[in-house]
């Protein structure tokens, strides 16, 4: 029987070290998407006069939304208002994320350029 540790195509070391990082985006994005849909839909319903009566914030709410449409969670509210609320909130969140990304990129670039700048060493034979 071949020793698995010696196989050259083995992508990971022993353990689940490569498995966990692949789950991290899902573990972060799923609750964020649920919260964005819940808050955006509730804000959209409130703006058109449906009042503040949000559905429970639970994974079942997403299931009900997919299965029964917006009327399953926000009865009597136009679908366009709910979708507009979700889209507006998603736009704000994406804008903030992009702003943070580019601001962080400038900070990282300035720090790395300061680290990479070598100090000037004297040149042999130069008059100074």
Domain range annotation of the chain: 24-87
Of 37, 27, 89, residue with least CA distance to 58:
37
What is the arithmetic mean of pLDDT over 64-80? Answer: 92
pLDDT in the model for residue 10: 54
Calculate ∠ Cα 114-97-88, nearest 5°: 160
What percent of the chain is predicted at pLDDT more than 90? 34
What is the arithmetic mean of pLDDT over 58-67? Answer: 90
pTM for this structure?
0.62
What is the arithmetic mean of pLDDT over 3-13? Answer: 54
pLDDT in the model for residue 106: 73
What is the arithmetic mean of pLDDT over 52-74? Answer: 91
pLDDT in the model for residue 88: 95
pLDDT in the model for residue 116: 55
pLDDT in the model for residue 81: 95
The Cα–Cα gap between 84 and 38 comes to: 13
């Amino acid at each position: 029987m071949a020793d698995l540790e010696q196989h050259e195509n083995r992508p990971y070391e022993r353990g689940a070290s490569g498995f966990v990082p692949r789950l991290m985006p899902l573990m972060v994005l799923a609750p964020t998407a649920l919260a964005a849909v819940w808050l955006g839909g509730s804000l959209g319903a409130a703006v058109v006069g449906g009042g503040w009566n949000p559905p429970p914030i639970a994974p079942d709410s997403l299931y009900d939304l997919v299965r029964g449409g917006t009327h399953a969670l926000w009865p009597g509210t136009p679908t366009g208002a709910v979708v507009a609320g979700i889209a507006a909130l998603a736009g704000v969140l994406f804008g903030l994320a992009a702003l943070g990304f580019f601001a962080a990129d400038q900070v990282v670039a300035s720090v790395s350029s300061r680290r990479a700048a070598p100090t000037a060493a004297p040149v042999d034979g130069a008059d100074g």
